[in-house]
Chains A and B, each alone.
Chain A
């Protein structure tokens, strides 16, 4: 079969090819990452010193909100779907995703959803300003008119995510090559399969929450209003029932990526494959019964607080299993430290630090002191930036030779890594201190006692911003005039994509399924 494909804009608009769609997802998410990052730059510029220097408090809140929303829904989630599109068919020996036309839809909905969301910045009253958690009634009665655009945007992203998830599930269950049993699937496929189930479970809940917001705003219902017998805290329960699984949606695929890369550069099989699968599944199951750890201060009954505290702390056990398995994979391996490996290693270390602060937050009586301070901000950036973002970055370096047939420049890659490593810590580590010292989150101005930490964080953030531009340049240079990559670029890599396919992969692969023994 020839490697024929349409060209021009139509190739991208109407494509049903999993590789094209994967590419579009990845570029889209990178654009969103820069957009959300630019908003973070505004936040950090304002917080560089005490006093209001650049933006009004009202606009600051919009920046915080949009930064969170765009990073979570625009940068991290699509990047994971992009990786899924590229890798799952190749890794299970399928010619494409199972529902290719739906695949096209689930991508093309996103640009519209985010245009709608971003356009709210230019509307009367400004963009949504109630935080990415949009607690009622600030997001209902007291919200700016643009909130309706936000609501429809969330609906659209939700539809996109659900379609993407259905596609993954159907593909994994029906399109595996002969011999590819479930327990032979690469871990990345496993983590995504479980993530897809999480998505299908929780995205409708989010849709329900925003729909109730919509009717509360416009049709006089009182779901979240005590005056009508409703309850604003019910909003939080619904939101976090979505929101907590959501954070694992963002991290599980990254776990999968790291589970592919560490064995490759340790030249040793992944330690404890089956316990990895079970650990991932346990994390996913537990994630449904811990949501109220975000709500310890809302005045829940003590019994509820105890339950959620203990359930949350339990998650450390399966996550620990994963960390230990990675360490054991490296143990007595034959390690080399190419860029993807460097990112994966720092993923393990920094994610663990973020996980530790998570366990601290889970302890309800102390969480009263941490809650809604920069300590929480430090926690989630440690699990999200060196977690989800480093995971994706590692994946890009690792599979770029396979996708494009070109190698990136190892020196530039290493510089990128070390810059990221330095600046990520410089940005987010001081936030632990400012949080402990008592600085609340989502404030545009603060007392002088927090000044020093904020200055360091801002300097780190600007460096981190520059680093991302550096990353972009590195990747473009690789695609433009990188060295030709070998079919099996990494000697320790395993899996169908390395063993059964050339680099770059042809447009159509596995027209006849490979046999897996």
Chain B
């Protein structure tokens, strides 16, 4: 029996350690209440259920522990003989029903509210694709992609040296979703390829992004700030690497942001047109190609162009990347017929397209020597 007592003591002290270490991180132990009305309501409901569960546990486990102590054989050698009682059985069917009703009523109210996206003041279309988010402000005519901005050096640690990780490790992006506060914003959530799910805990919004369908959800953020979330539906290899970052700003700041975005858009279009008109030399193409490839294509085809056998074809030595240029342009601009890879014709600029194709045809020993000019891409697009 002695060892048993020691084990129990061990168990208790372990739980103690766990709890105290948990308390260290106390802020992170529980659900975060978040900032919106609905997220706070969800948090309150969560706390309410927890307390109900705690009380039911106290009653049920209390009765059990009482039995362990007072009805053990040494204390209570002759067992009682009762084996049913319609009265108590009735009672313990009714009580849970009452508890459940008590829990359900606020849940129903909150649910109906959370699902009602009507009367929104602006709409943002959110599109998930492997493995980035695309945001389109329907009322402001702005759109952009949002990618993970944590560099691979921070997370790839296969040689066990440890890496320095930033504070928002894996929860940071290149383009944040900027939203105005005190505005009812409707999100139209969808996907290009597989199912993703758009979740930002602090505003209690989680909606699956389903290819071919649009789901609606909404929020109304009262306080400016930065709120981080992640994709929460397994969507393939880099599912763990597609964060969401919302930046809530005052309405005035939002208008200003829209203006800069629009100005940027115009400048970018002009620059792209200029770039497309120019004739590029090999070094320039390769340089732009490499950056574009690393940021856009390497996630699937690998930095060294070797892909993953059976999932993502190797581009190194691939018949398409070394064969006729038209087929290569076709796949990159329009996507393959299998739809396993997105079409990049509208995602990248003509210069980027030309550069990345050139890069693929000349990197990693694919020495075709071919150069693709932005004008070639324009001609190709026009020809289709």
Binding site for B on A (CB under 8 A): 50-54, 57-58, 61, 123-126, 129-131, 135, 137-138, 141-142, 144-146, 225-227, 231-233, 266-275, 297-299, 302, 305-306, 309-310, 313-314, 316-317, 320-321, 323-325, 327-328, 330-337, 345, 348-349, 352-353, 356, 359-360, 363-366, 368-369, 371-373, 411, 414-415, 418, 421-422, 425-426, 429-430, 433, 436-438, 440-450, 452-453, 456
Residue B218, interface by CB 8 Å: no
Chain A residue nearest to B4 (CB atoms) is A414
In the bound complex, CA of A84 to CA of B160 (Å): 48
**Which of B193-201, B249-257, B288-296 sits within the interface?**
B193-201
- Whether the Cβ atoms of A233 and B64 lie closer than 8 Å is no
For A268, give its contact among B81, B155, B162 (CB under 8 Å): B81
In the bound complex, CA of A437 to CA of B212 (Å): 31
Contacting residues of chain B (286-333) with chain A, CB-CB under 8 angstroms: 308-311
**Which of B21-29, B138-146, B266-274, B356-364 sits within the interface?**
B21-29
Residue B112, interface by CB 8 Å: yes
| A306-B108, A320-B92 given; A233·B60 CB < 8 A | no
Residues of B within 8 A of A226 (CB): 210-213
Residues of B within 8 A of A57 (CB): 237-241
Residue B83, interface by CB 8 Å: yes
- Whether the Cβ atoms of A333 and B239 lie closer than 8 Å is no
For B80, give its contact among A310, A333, A360, A363 (CB under 8 Å): A333
Additional 7 contacts, C-beta under 8 A, given A336-B73, A436-B29: A61-B234, A61-B236, A333-B79, A369-B31, A369-B206, A425-B15, A448-B165
Q: How far is the CB of A466 from chain B (nearest CB, A)?
A: 15
Residues of B within 8 A of A310 (CB): 104
- Whether the Cβ atoms of B115 and A305 lie closer than 8 Å is yes
Chain B residue nearest to A267 (CB atoms) is B79
- Whether the Cβ atoms of B193 and A142 lie closer than 8 Å is yes
- Whether the Cβ atoms of B84 and A275 lie closer than 8 Å is yes
- Whether the Cβ atoms of B30 and A144 lie closer than 8 Å is no
In the bound complex, CA of A484 to CA of B348 (Å): 77
Residues of B within 8 A of A446 (CB): 170, 240
- Whether the Cβ atoms of A445 and B240 lie closer than 8 Å is yes
Chain B residue nearest to A442 (CB atoms) is B234
Residue B134, interface by CB 8 Å: no
In the bound complex, CA of A225 to CA of B195 (Å): 11
Contacting residues of chain B (187-222) with chain A, CB-CB under 8 angstroms: 189, 193-195, 197, 199, 201, 204-208, 210-213, 215-216
Chain A residue nearest to B49 (CB atoms) is A360
For B22, give its contact among A141, A274, A368, A433 (CB under 8 Å): A433
Residue B384, interface by CB 8 Å: no
**Which of B93-101, B177-185, B276-284 sits within the interface?**
B93-101
Residues of A within 8 A of B10 (CB): 422
Residue B53, interface by CB 8 Å: yes
Contacting residues of chain B (16-70) with chain A, CB-CB under 8 angstroms: 18, 21-22, 24-25, 28-32, 38-39, 41-43, 45-46, 49-50, 53, 56-57, 60-61, 63-64, 67-68
Cross-chain pairs A/B with CB under 8 angstroms, 26 sampled: A53-B158, A54-B158, A57-B240, A123-B310, A142-B193, A266-B71, A268-B83, A306-B111, A320-B92, A324-B92, A330-B68, A332-B71, A334-B71, A334-B76, A334-B77, A335-B68, A335-B76, A364-B111, A366-B42, A366-B49, A368-B42, A426-B14, A430-B22, A437-B29, A438-B32, A453-B22
Q: How far is the CB of B89 from chain A (nearest CB, A)?
A: 5
Most-contacted residue by chain A among B171, B211, B215 (CB, 10 A): B211
- What number of A-B contacts does a CB cutoff of 8 Å give? 330
In the bound complex, CA of A438 to CA of B197 (Å): 14
In the bound complex, CA of A268 to CA of B80 (Å): 7
| A440-B230, A452-B24 given; A363·B73 CB < 8 A | no
Q: How far is the CB of A246 from chain B (nearest CB, A)?
A: 19
Contacting residues of chain B (122-163) with chain A, CB-CB under 8 angstroms: 130, 154-158, 160, 162-163
In the bound complex, CA of A415 to CA of B4 (Å): 8
| A269-B81, A371-B206 given; A327·B89 CB < 8 A | no
Task: Decide if the interface of chain A is mainly helix, strand, loop or mixed.
Answer: helix
Residues of A within 8 A of B311 (CB): 58, 125-126, 144
In the bound complex, CA of A14 to CA of B160 (Å): 51
- Whether the Cβ atoms of A321 and B68 lie closer than 8 Å is no
Most-contacted residue by chain A among B25, B79, B163 (CB, 10 A): B79
- Whether the Cβ atoms of B208 and A298 lie closer than 8 Å is yes
- Whether the Cβ atoms of A371 and B46 lie closer than 8 Å is no
In the bound complex, CA of A350 to CA of B371 (Å): 66
In the bound complex, CA of A359 to CA of B99 (Å): 11
In the bound complex, CA of A229 to CA of B370 (Å): 42
Residues of A within 8 A of B64 (CB): 327, 330, 345, 348-349
- Whether the Cβ atoms of B197 and A330 lie closer than 8 Å is no
Residues of A within 8 A of B231 (CB): 440
Q: How far is the CB of A206 from chain B (nearest CB, A)?
A: 19
In the bound complex, CA of A449 to CA of B170 (Å): 11
Chain B residue nearest to A367 (CB atoms) is B206
Chain A residue nearest to B156 (CB atoms) is A52
- Whether the Cβ atoms of A449 and B216 lie closer than 8 Å is no
- Whether the Cβ atoms of B234 and A130 lie closer than 8 Å is yes
In the bound complex, CA of A113 to CA of B306 (Å): 32
Binding site for A on B (CB under 8 A): 3-4, 7-8, 10-11, 14-15, 18, 21-22, 24-25, 28-32, 38-39, 41-43, 45-46, 49-50, 53, 56-57, 60-61, 63-64, 67-68, 71-73, 76-84, 88-89, 92-93, 96-97, 100, 103-104, 107-108, 110-112, 114-115, 130, 154-158, 160, 162-163, 165, 167-171, 189, 193-195, 197, 199, 201, 204-208, 210-213, 215-216, 229-241, 308-311, 338-340
- Whether the Cβ atoms of A333 and B67 lie closer than 8 Å is yes
Chain A residue nearest to B45 (CB atoms) is A366
Residues of A within 8 A of B197 (CB): 297, 372
Most-contacted residue by chain B among A310, A447, A450 (CB, 10 A): A447
Most-contacted residue by chain A among B38, B61, B130 (CB, 10 A): B61
In the bound complex, CA of A142 to CA of B342 (Å): 12
Q: Which 7 A-B pairs have the closest CB atoms?
A: A125-B310, A226-B212, A443-B240, A299-B215, A124-B310, A332-B80, A269-B83
Residues of A within 8 A of B171 (CB): 447
Residues of A within 8 A of B167 (CB): 448
For A58, give its contact among B29, B43, B237 (CB under 8 Å): B237
Residues of B within 8 A of A334 (CB): 71-73, 76-79
For A61, give its contact among B97, B130, B155, B239 (CB under 8 Å): B239
- Whether the Cβ atoms of B213 and A299 lie closer than 8 Å is yes
Chain A residue nearest to B198 (CB atoms) is A297
Most-contacted residue by chain B among A141, A334, A360, A446 (CB, 10 A): A334
Residues of A within 8 A of B45 (CB): 363, 365-366
Chain B residue nearest to A269 (CB atoms) is B83
| A51-B155, A299-B213 given; A141·B340 CB < 8 A | yes
Most-contacted residue by chain B among A337, A429, A438 (CB, 10 A): A438
In the bound complex, CA of A326 to CA of B205 (Å): 40
Residues of B within 8 A of A298 (CB): 208, 210, 215
Q: How far is the CB of B54 from chain A (nearest CB, A)?
A: 9
Q: How far is the CB of A416 from chain B (nearest CB, A)?
A: 11
Residues of A within 8 A of B163 (CB): 51
In the bound complex, CA of A227 to CA of B232 (Å): 24
Residues of B within 8 A of A368 (CB): 42, 114, 204-206
Most-contacted residue by chain B among A125, A145, A366, A441 (CB, 10 A): A366
Residues of B within 8 A of A53 (CB): 157-158, 160
- Whether the Cβ atoms of B60 and A299 lie closer than 8 Å is no
- Whether the Cβ atoms of A313 and B100 lie closer than 8 Å is yes
| A137-B193, A364-B107, A372-B197 given; A297·B60 CB < 8 A | no
| A125-B310, A446-B240 given; A299·B210 CB < 8 A | yes
Q: How far is the CB of B86 from chain A (nearest CB, A)?
A: 9
| A57-B237, A320-B96 given; A125·B71 CB < 8 A | no
| A125-B310, A352-B57 given; A299·B234 CB < 8 A | no
